[in-house]
A and B are shown apart, each in its own frame.
Chain A
Amino acid sequence: GAVVSQHPSWVICKSGTSVKIECRSLDFQATTMFWYRQFPKQSLMLMATSNEGSKATYEQGVEKDKFLINHASLTLSTLTVTSAHPEDSSFYICSARWGPPSETQYFGPGTRLLVL
Chain B
Amino acid sequence: DAKTTQPPSMDCAEGRAANLPCNHSTISGNEYVYWYRQIHSQGPQYIIHGLKNNETNEMASLIITEDRKSSTLILPHATLRDTAVYYCIVRVPITGNQFYFGTGTSLTVIP
B contact residues around A44 at 8 Å (CB): 38, 44, 101
B contact residues around A100 at 8 Å (CB): 93
Q: Are A105 and B99 in contact (CB under 8 A)?
A: yes
Helix, strand, loop or mixed for chain B's interface?
loop
Q: Are B32 and A91 in contact (CB under 8 A)?
A: no
Q: Are B93 and A34 in contact (CB under 8 A)?
A: no
With A34-B99, A43-B103, A46-B99 as known contacts, state yes or no: A103 contacts B94, CB within 8 Å: yes
Number of A-B residue pairs having CB atoms within 8 Å of each other in the complex: 57
Q: Are B95 and A101 in contact (CB under 8 A)?
A: no
With A44-B101, A104-B34 as known contacts, state yes or no: A91 contacts B93, CB within 8 Å: no
Bound complex: CA A106 to CA B47 (Å): 10
Interface size bucket, A side?
Answer: 20 to 34
The 10 A-B residue pairs with the shortest CB-CB distance, nearest first, are A103-B93, A107-B43, A44-B101, A43-B101, A107-B44, A110-B43, A109-B43, A93-B43, A108-B43, A102-B93
Residues on A close to B: CB < 8 A? 2, 4, 6, 32, 34, 36, 43-46, 49, 91, 93, 95, 97, 100-110, 112
18 contacts between A and B (CB under 8 A): A32-B95, A43-B101, A44-B38, A49-B98, A93-B43, A97-B95, A101-B93, A103-B93, A104-B34, A104-B49, A104-B93, A105-B46, A106-B46, A107-B36, A107-B45, A109-B42, A109-B43, A112-B41
Beyond known contacts A32-B95, A46-B99, A110-B43: 12 more, CB 8 A cutoff: A4-B43, A6-B43, A44-B101, A46-B98, A49-B96, A49-B98, A91-B41, A102-B93, A103-B93, A104-B93, A107-B43, A109-B43
